[in-house]
Structure 1
Amino acid sequence: MRRLSLSSRLALLFAACTAVVSLIAGVLFSRASEAHFIELDQQLLDGKLIGLRRALHDIQSSESQARLADELSRQADLALRITGADGQRWYDSSAQLPGQLPLTEGLSTTSHAGTDYRVLNAPLYPGKPDSPQLTLLLDITHHQHFLQRMQRLIWLTVGLSALATALLGAWAARSGLRPLRRMSEVARGVSAQSLKARLPEAQMPPELAQMAHHFNAMLERLDDSFQRLSAFSADIAHELRTPLSNLLTHTQVTLTRPRPIEDYREALHSNLEELQWMAQLVNDMLYLAKADHGLLMPKREPLELAEEVEALLEFFAPLAEDAQVTLKRDGHARLQGDRIMLRRALSNLLDNALRFTPAGGEVRVWIVDEANGLRLMVENSGEGIDRALLPRLFDRFYRADPARHEGRSEHAGLGLAITQSIIRAHGGQIRCESQNGWTRFVVELPKGN
């Protein structure tokens, strides 16, 4: 069964609400009109009862009968029946009166031969137990016809109101949902070749403005991810092309003529270096792929961060001495983390800092123990990085230095991307700051349990 559209649902909902409201209003108006007629009839019959009691003060006299006839002649739709205390009928003002009438005192309603009556029973002489009974009958057929016509009008109004509201509701819903159709059109037009379409947020109603904002933000992320993926593919081809070309050329040159065994050994050794670099590149890419899919599961073991940093500084000390760079560390903190993964991340940061620190410069490592976690900063002196380039430092294969150092694994442009993946796998964040001749990588990590 085909599901109703949102416009149809809203139209039916509007129609149902209008029908219910109209019906309730009509029923209340009908009940109020009926109560109003009953009140008027009560007042009329009470007034006639007083006049009839005066006219019938002496029921046996001819003068009373004359006054009775005069009183009844003033109200054409009024009839009277007088019965004795024993129930015997004494008098009927009309031969068309019903044979059986309600006997209870007070006001009641009855019908006879297509005529509706309002009936009032009261004693002729109040307070006397053997008093004759007066039964006043007021013809209210015209009142009932009016109420019936009004009820039919109410049902007709309810039906027409529901129909009109359904049509207007459908039009209003269709007009109001136009921004959603616009979103659908934009979404239908999104493809790998077309990610630039955006929704006009300023023209959206307030209820959809936030959705349009998030929809545009999603398109921005998709466009950025697609651009990064395209650049990533191009970078992979670029990185692998040179070593593959070197391997192919070197092998072809080696095979052009017979050579001594040492030449073949040297060629194989050279090819092995290229293959090792390519294998490392592929391993790094697989590592990042695991990180993208949340497959990096760091072990949780207690670590003294200062000891780990100190061990890495001892490892990099010969390189720093050759480059005439001073290494410094300060601070202590403990955390729960994966020793191997964190050492790899810190090693990438230290290697990056040493490569861009000029002779006579410094590389500092600061560890700050805080209440909600810890902060580790690796900073180096030297030429700063343009603020516009900072957000891209953690992109894969990205180098702030436009000169591409092809064929060197440690400079392939994956180190900072791997570092970011490791830090995020530990629930932390990393960012880069560069100002006043210092470039600082700030790592924020939770301490864990």
Structure 2
Amino acid sequence: MKTRWSLSSRLALLFAACTAVVSLFAGVLFSRGSEAHFIELDQQLLESRLIGLRRAVQGLDADQLRRRLEDELSRQSDLALRIKDSNGVRWYDSSIRIPAQLPESPGLSTLSDADSDYRVLTAPLDPGRPGSPQLTLLLDITHHQHFLQRMQRMIWLTVGLSALATALLGAWAARRALRPLRRMGAIAGNVSARSLNARLPQEQMPAELAELAHSINAMLARLDDAFQRLSAFSADIAHELRTPLSNLLTHTQVTLTRERSLEDYREALHSNLEELQWMAQMVNDMLFLAKADHGLLAPHRERLALAEEIDVLLEFFAPLAEDVDVRLNRAGDGRVEGDRSMLRRAFSNLLDNALRFTPADGEVRIRIIDSPHVLKIHVENSGDGIPADLLPRLFDRFYRADPARREGSSEHAGLGLAITRSIIRAHGGDIHCESVDGWTRFMIELPKAD
């Protein structure tokens, strides 16, 4: 099983790796810089000694030259000298410890032999004379090399210790910095269906986590609202079905208490049939809404003239409007692409709702406004307004703004506006309601037909 590293451990290792890389880089630069500095110093020293030797031996014969060289070198214990004649034969060695093989090419170089390290400078004894003997100066730099080696060991030790210290300090700092994240996890772990009202303390979060806490709080708010709506929906279903089921049971039990005539049984069945038809319609409406919630509504698209479709509905509702002394009228026209049966159902729900709440001698108006990008349809009726605090809930399932609602009414179950909104949204539109100045207005926006 693959090991899962904690975020604190990852940050600590990352801090340690970064510190080690930076320390190592700085140490290598310092080591290279020190080595280059020592080479420069050694070169200056060897060149100055070379100039001094050339001056000291100028114009001397072989015996005098040898004595003069020994005298000069006796005062410089870390300096050694080898001289070869023009034929490459060794003529003079100032020490028996000089390595047998030395660089032949002129210039500065570094040589290691046994336990000693040397900086070697090779040059002609008399640069102005052809066939001049070859002079090789050796400077013992063993102590330099030991210093550089100690420094390299110190660099590695520093890198290791700094990485370890940074890892420990990084783990502590990361754990302390991630404390709000653990607090968020603890609060989120306690969230359940019974405690969706829990919220993360945004004010106490660092700036990087405040936005995440805000998003999680918004998510919890949406879940809480959805759960409350679902609970209310379940309660409303039970509330709506309880009365008709009770009526069916009671009516059937009463009918079966004694022998009755065929006409009585037929009348009882007709009464039960009405209740069952209403319950079946409500179940179908609920299934329709469930499909809409899951995006399963697929309207059959065809080009429709809204004025013609609404005139058909107005003609259907005309007798009912005459009975309640309400005037119906329509203005404007426009074309949309949509499902004829679905749109007729949506507008039928709005007209039925408007007629129920329009007082005698009132008016129901439908206005079609052809805008540049959308088609606006306003279904409005005169009468008592709807309080502003109730407007956001009008499209909730089973919600009825009339406080005198009747339980289990077989006439209106409070699903019409919810179905209307689902149909409008399935067509890519939107609907909302306003109630001002004695008029209640449902405003719909639908995409225009191309």
1:331 Cα deviation after fit = 1.9
Query: 1:326-359: per-residue Cα shift (whole Å, max 9, x none)?
Result: 2222222211111111111111111111111122
1:158 Cα deviation after fit = 1.3
Q: Is the 8 A contact 2:303 2:449 kept in 1?
A: no
What CA RMSD, in Å, does the superposition of the two structures yield over aligned residues? 1.7
Which residue identity is paired with 2:271? S
Structure 2 unaligned spans of 5+: none
Q: Is the 8 A contact 2:346 2:424 kept in 1?
A: yes
Match in the other structure for 2:428: 427
1:117 Cα deviation after fit = 0.1
- Mapping of residues 48-447 of structure 1, within 5 Å: 48-60=49-61, 65=66, 67-447=68-448
Q: In the superposition, relative to structure 1, how do residues 48 and 254 fare at CA in structure 2: closer, same or farther (>3 Å)? A: same
Q: Is the 8 A contact 2:335 2:449 kept in 1?
A: no
Which residue identity is paired with 2:294? H
Q: Is the 8 A contact 2:248 2:275 kept in 1?
A: yes
SS for the counterpart of 2:329 is: strand
Match in the other structure for 1:24: 25
Distance in 1, matches of 2:285 and 2:380, equals 25
1:137 Cα deviation after fit = 0.6
1:262 Cα deviation after fit = 2.0
Distance in 1, matches of 2:132 and 2:349, equals 118
Q: Is the 8 A contact 1:72 1:78 kept in 2?
A: yes
Further displaced range: 144-153 or 51-60 = 51-60
SS for the counterpart of 2:377 is: strand
SS for the counterpart of 2:385 is: coil
Query: 1:264-303: per-residue Cα shift (whole Å, max 9, x none)?
Result: 2222111111111111111111111111111111111111
Q: Is the 8 A contact 1:405 1:412 kept in 2?
A: no
Query: 1:400-422: per-residue Cα shift (whole Å, max 9, x none)?
Result: 12222234344211011111111
1:238 Cα deviation after fit = 0.9
Q: Is the 8 A contact 1:22 1:158 kept in 2?
A: yes
Distance in 2, matches of 1:288 and 1:46, equals 99
Which residue identity is paired with 2:313? L
Q: Is the 8 A contact 1:280 1:409 kept in 2?
A: no
Q: Is the 8 A contact 2:433 2:443 kept in 1?
A: yes
SS for the counterpart of 2:81 is: strand
Which residue identity is paired with 1:160? L
Distance in 1, matches of 2:67 and 2:436, equals 121
Q: Give the paired residue count.
A: 449
Q: In the superposition, relative to structure 1, how do residues 409 and 70 fare at CA in structure 2: closer, same or farther (>3 Å)? A: farther
Q: In the superposition, relative to structure 1, how do residues 436 and 72 fare at CA in structure 2: closer, same or farther (>3 Å)? A: farther
Q: In the superposition, relative to structure 1, how do residues 447 and 70 fare at CA in structure 2: closer, same or farther (>3 Å)? A: farther
Q: Is the 8 A contact 1:81 1:134 kept in 2?
A: yes
Distance in 2, matches of 1:363 and 1:71, equals 126
Q: Is the 8 A contact 1:304 1:332 kept in 2?
A: yes
Distance in 1, matches of 2:448 and 2:129, equals 102
Which residue identity is paired with 2:161? L
SS for the counterpart of 2:109 is: strand
Which residue identity is paired with 1:315? F
Further displaced range: 189-198 or 9-18 = 9-18
Which residue identity is paired with 1:373? V
Distance in 2, matches of 1:408 and 1:194, equals 35
Q: In the superposition, relative to structure 1, how do residues 12 and 365 fare at CA in structure 2: closer, same or farther (>3 Å)? A: same
1:136 Cα deviation after fit = 0.8
Distance in 2, matches of 1:374 and 1:31, equals 78
Distance in 2, matches of 1:409 and 1:301, equals 34
Distance in 1, matches of 2:433 and 2:175, equals 50
Q: In the superposition, relative to structure 1, how do residues 85 and 341 fare at CA in structure 2: closer, same or farther (>3 Å)? A: same
Q: In the superposition, relative to structure 1, how do residues 116 and 412 fare at CA in structure 2: closer, same or farther (>3 Å)? A: same
Distance in 1, matches of 2:385 and 2:198, equals 37
Percent of matched pairs sharing the same residue? 76
Post-superposition, which runs of at least 4 consecutive aligned residues in structure 1 deviate over 4 A?
Answer: 61-67
Q: Is the 8 A contact 1:393 1:416 kept in 2?
A: yes
The TM-score normalised by the length of structure 1 is 0.96
1:56 Cα deviation after fit = 1.5
SS for the counterpart of 2:98 is: coil
Q: In the superposition, relative to structure 1, how do residues 136 and 312 fare at CA in structure 2: closer, same or farther (>3 Å)? A: same
Query: 1:350-407: per-residue Cα shift (whole Å, max 9, x none)?
Result: 1111111122222221222223322211112222212221111111101112222234
Distance in 1, matches of 2:177 and 2:298, equals 48
Which residue identity is paired with 1:177? L
Q: In the superposition, relative to structure 1, how do residues 330 and 67 fare at CA in structure 2: closer, same or farther (>3 Å)? A: farther
SS for the counterpart of 1:299 is: coil
Distance in 2, matches of 1:60 and 1:388, equals 122
Q: Is the 8 A contact 2:83 2:90 kept in 1?
A: yes
Distance in 2, matches of 1:288 and 1:377, equals 23
Which residue identity is paired with 1:176? A
1:61 Cα deviation after fit = 6.5
Distance in 2, matches of 1:343 and 1:294, equals 20
Q: Is the 8 A contact 2:84 2:133 kept in 1?
A: yes
